[in-house]
Structure 1
Amino acid sequence: MLAGSTQFETLEQALKHYFGYEEFRPGQRDIITTAIANRDLLVVMPTGGGKSLCFQLPALLKQGVTIVVSPLIALMQDQVQQLADNGIAATFLNSSITTEERRDRAAAIYNGEIKLLYLAPERLNQEFISNFLVDLHQEVGIAGFAIDEAHCVSEWGHDFRPDYRKLSQLRHYFPKVPWLGLTATATDRVRQDIITQLDLREPAIHVASFNRPNLYYEVRRKTTTPYKELLAQVKQSKGAGIIYCLSRKKVDELTTKLQHDGIKVLPYHAGLDSQTRTNNQNSFIRDDVQVMIATVAFGMGINKPDVRFVIHYDLPRNIEGYYQESGRAGRDGEPAHCTLYFGMGDIKTIEYLIAQKIDRETGMALEEEQRIATQQLRRVINYAEATECRRIIQLGYFGESFPGNCDNCDNCKYPRPISDWTIESQKLLSCVARFSKQGRNFGLAYTIDVLRGSKSDRVLKNGHDTLSTYGIGKDRTQNEWRILGRSLLHQGLVDETSDGYSVLTLNSLSWEVLKSQRKVEIAIAPSLPTAETPDISTNTAEIQSLYNRLHKLRKQYADANKVPPYVIFADSSLRLMAQQQPQTLAQFAQISGVGARKLAQYGEMFTGEIRAFRAESGLSVQTESDPTPPLDPSPPRRRDISQTHLETLDMYQRGLSLAEIATKRSVRETTIADHLIKLMECGYEVDIDRIVPPDRATAIAQAMKIVGAERLTPIKEQLGEDYNYEEIKLVRARLSDREIAD
Structure 2
Amino acid sequence: MAALNAHAVLQDTFGYSAFRGQQQAIVEHVAAGGDALVLMPTGGGKSLCYQLPALLREGIGIVVSPLIALMQDQVDALLQLGVRAAFLNSSLDAETSRSIYQTLMRGELDMLYIAPERLMAPGFISTLEQVQQRFGIALFAIDEAHCVSQWGHDFRPEYRQLTVLHEQFPDVPRIALTATADTPTRNEIVERLGLEQAEQFVSSFDRPNIRYRVALKDNARKQLQAFLETEHSNDAGIIYCLSRRKVEETAAWLKEKGWDALPYHAGLDARTRQTNQQRFLREEGIVMVATVAFGMGIDKPNVRFVAHLDLPKSMEGYYQETGRAGRDGLQANAWMVYGLGDVVSMRQLLDGGDTPDERKRLERQKLDALLGYCESTACRHQAILRYFGEQHPGNCGQCDNCLNPVDTWDGTEAARMALSCVYRTGQRFGAGHLIDVLLGKSSAQVERFNHTSLSTFGIGKQLSQTQWSSVFRQLVAGGVLEADMEAYGGLKLTDEARPLLRGESEIWFRRDAEVSNISKAERASRSKEAYAGVNDDPLWLALKAKRLALAREQEVPPYVIFHDSTLLEILNRRPTTLIEMGRISGVGQAKLAHYGDEFLQVLEEHANGA
Which TM-score tier does this pair reach, normalised by the shorter chain? 0.7 to 0.9
> Which of 225, 233, 239 lines up with 2:227 in the alignment?
233
1:13 pairs with 2:8? yes
Taking a change above 3 Å as real, the CA distance of residues 345 and 28 of structure 1, as seen in their structure-2 partners, is same
Q: CA deviation at 1:247?
A: 0.8
> Which of 175, 180, 203 lines up with 1:208 in the alignment?
203
Aligned to 2:452: none
Please give the alpha-carbon distance, in whole angstroms, between the structure 1 residues aligned to 2:222 and 2:540: 32
Please give the alpha-carbon distance, in whole angstroms, between the structure 1 residues aligned to 2:604 and 2:278: 32
Please give the alpha-carbon distance, in whole angstroms, between the structure 2 residues aligned to 1:596 and 1:64: 22
Q: CA deviation at 1:337?
A: 0.6
Please give the alpha-carbon distance, in whole angstroms, between the structure 1 residues aligned to 2:177 and 2:252: 38
1:591 pairs with 2:577? no
> Which of 50, 53, 78 lines up with 1:55 in the alignment?
50
Aligned to 1:703: none
Whether contact under 8 Å (1:538, 1:544) holds in the other structure is no
Q: Deviations over 1:603-627 (max 9, x none)?
A: 111111111111111xxxxxxxxxx
Q: CA deviation at 1:355?
A: 3.0
1:290 pairs with 2:264? no
Aligned amino acid, residue 123 of structure 1: R
Whether contact under 8 Å (1:414, 1:527) holds in the other structure is no
1:344 pairs with 2:337? no
Aligned amino acid, residue 374 of structure 1: R
Higher relative contact order (CA 8 A, sep 6+): 2
Aligned amino acid, residue 73 of structure 1: I
Q: Deviations over 1:367-401 (max 9, x none)?
A: 12222122222222222222121122211111112
- The alignment partner of 1:243 has SS state of strand
Taking a change above 3 Å as real, the CA distance of residues 592 and 453 of structure 1, as seen in their structure-2 partners, is closer
1:615 pairs with 2:608? yes
Q: CA deviation at 1:526?
A: 2.3
> Which of 577, 599, 604 lines up with 1:606 in the alignment?
599
Taking a change above 3 Å as real, the CA distance of residues 542 and 108 of structure 1, as seen in their structure-2 partners, is closer
Please give the alpha-carbon distance, in whole angstroms, between the structure 2 residues aligned to 1:381 and 1:201: 35
Whether contact under 8 Å (1:66, 1:145) holds in the other structure is yes
> Which of 80, 89, 99 lines up with 1:104 in the alignment?
99
Please give the alpha-carbon distance, in whole angstroms, between the structure 2 residues aligned to 1:595 and 1:185: 30
Whether contact under 8 Å (1:214, 1:333) holds in the other structure is yes
Q: Deviations over 1:260-297 (max 9, x none)?
A: 11110111110111111111001011125520000001
Taking a change above 3 Å as real, the CA distance of residues 587 and 522 of structure 1, as seen in their structure-2 partners, is farther
Whether contact under 8 Å (1:484, 1:522) holds in the other structure is no
Whether contact under 8 Å (1:150, 1:182) holds in the other structure is yes
1:370 pairs with 2:365? no
- The alignment partner of 2:528 has SS state of coil
Whether contact under 8 Å (2:409, 2:511) holds in the other structure is no
- The alignment partner of 1:270 has SS state of coil
- The alignment partner of 2:24 has SS state of helix
Aligned to 1:524: 510
The equivalences for 1:214-293 within 5 A come to 214-223=209-218, 225-238=219-232, 239-287=235-283, 290-293=286-289
Please give the alpha-carbon distance, in whole angstroms, between the structure 2 residues aligned to 1:453 and 1:243: 35
TM-score, length-scaled by structure 2: 0.82
Q: Deviations over 1:424-456 (max 9, x none)?
A: 9xxxxxxxxxxxxxxxxxxxx99x989x99799
Q: Deviations over 1:193-213 (max 9, x none)?
A: 001111114111111111111
Whether contact under 8 Å (1:334, 1:536) holds in the other structure is no
1:571 pairs with 2:567? no
Taking a change above 3 Å as real, the CA distance of residues 89 and 485 of structure 1, as seen in their structure-2 partners, is same
The number of residue pairs the alignment matches comes to 540
> Which of 36, 43, 47 lines up with 1:41 in the alignment?
36
Aligned amino acid, residue 66 of structure 1: G
Whether contact under 8 Å (2:237, 2:285) holds in the other structure is no
Aligned to 1:70: 65
Taking a change above 3 Å as real, the CA distance of residues 212 and 546 of structure 1, as seen in their structure-2 partners, is same
Whether contact under 8 Å (2:2, 2:28) holds in the other structure is no
Q: CA deviation at 1:404?
A: 4.3
1:410 pairs with 2:400? yes
Please give the alpha-carbon distance, in whole angstroms, between the structure 1 residues aligned to 2:344 and 2:91: 39
> Which of 172, 186, 193 lines up with 2:188 in the alignment?
193
- Farther-moved stretch of structure 1 (87-96 vs 75-84): 87-96
- The alignment partner of 1:299 has SS state of coil
> Which of 139, 159, 175 lines up with 1:144 in the alignment?
139
Q: Deviations over 1:625-649 (max 9, x none)?
A: xxxxxxxxxxxxxxxxxxxxxxxxx
TM-score, length-scaled by structure 1: 0.68
Please give the alpha-carbon distance, in whole angstroms, between the structure 2 residues aligned to 1:247 and 1:542: 33
Aligned to 2:2: 2
What RMSD over aligned residues (CA atoms) do the two structures have, in Å?
Answer: 3.2
Whether contact under 8 Å (1:20, 1:596) holds in the other structure is yes
Taking a change above 3 Å as real, the CA distance of residues 521 and 230 of structure 1, as seen in their structure-2 partners, is same
Please give the alpha-carbon distance, in whole angstroms, between the structure 2 residues aligned to 1:116 and 1:503: 56
- The alignment partner of 1:127 has SS state of coil
Taking a change above 3 Å as real, the CA distance of residues 22 and 288 of structure 1, as seen in their structure-2 partners, is closer
Q: CA deviation at 1:347?
A: 1.9
Whether contact under 8 Å (1:265, 1:289) holds in the other structure is no
Taking a change above 3 Å as real, the CA distance of residues 582 and 488 of structure 1, as seen in their structure-2 partners, is farther
1:545 pairs with 2:538? yes
Aligned amino acid, residue 398 of structure 2: N
Taking a change above 3 Å as real, the CA distance of residues 341 and 136 of structure 1, as seen in their structure-2 partners, is same
Identity of aligned residues (%): 44
Taking a change above 3 Å as real, the CA distance of residues 52 and 544 of structure 1, as seen in their structure-2 partners, is same
Q: CA deviation at 1:237?
A: 3.1
Please give the alpha-carbon distance, in whole angstroms, between the structure 1 residues aligned to 2:478 and 2:29: 41
Q: CA deviation at 1:21?
A: 0.7
Please give the alpha-carbon distance, in whole angstroms, between the structure 2 residues aligned to 1:568 and 1:266: 24
Taking a change above 3 Å as real, the CA distance of residues 156 and 236 of structure 1, as seen in their structure-2 partners, is same
Please give the alpha-carbon distance, in whole angstroms, between the structure 2 residues aligned to 1:325 and 1:528: 27
> Which of 399, 415, 419 lines up with 2:389 in the alignment?
399
- Farther-moved stretch of structure 1 (125-134 vs 368-377): 125-134
- The alignment partner of 1:339 has SS state of strand
Aligned to 1:31: 26
Q: Deviations over 1:571-630 (max 9, x none)?
A: 11111111221122112111111110001000111111111111111xxxxxxxxxxxxx
Q: CA deviation at 1:171?
A: 2.4
Whether contact under 8 Å (1:220, 1:528) holds in the other structure is no
Taking a change above 3 Å as real, the CA distance of residues 187 and 84 of structure 1, as seen in their structure-2 partners, is same
Please give the alpha-carbon distance, in whole angstroms, between the structure 2 residues aligned to 1:147 and 1:183: 9
Q: Deviations over 1:201-237 (max 9, x none)?
A: 41111111111110010111111x2212212222233
Q: CA deviation at 1:2?
A: 3.0
- The alignment partner of 2:194 has SS state of coil
Taking a change above 3 Å as real, the CA distance of residues 245 and 73 of structure 1, as seen in their structure-2 partners, is same
The equivalences for 1:371-390 within 5 A come to 371-390=361-380
- The alignment partner of 2:293 has SS state of coil
Aligned amino acid, residue 387 of structure 1: T
Q: CA deviation at 1:545?
A: 2.2
- The alignment partner of 1:26 has SS state of coil
- The alignment partner of 2:161 has SS state of helix
1:85 pairs with 2:75? no
Taking a change above 3 Å as real, the CA distance of residues 413 and 111 of structure 1, as seen in their structure-2 partners, is same
- Farther-moved stretch of structure 1 (78-87 vs 234-243): 234-243
- The alignment partner of 2:55 has SS state of helix
Aligned to 1:124: 119
- The alignment partner of 1:255 has SS state of helix
- The alignment partner of 1:586 has SS state of helix
Aligned amino acid, residue 568 of structure 2: R
Please give the alpha-carbon distance, in whole angstroms, between the structure 1 residues aligned to 2:267 and 2:533: 46
Q: Deviations over 1:126-156 (max 9, x none)?
A: 5233331122122221121111111111122
Whether contact under 8 Å (2:89, 2:114) holds in the other structure is yes
Taking a change above 3 Å as real, the CA distance of residues 208 and 610 of structure 1, as seen in their structure-2 partners, is same
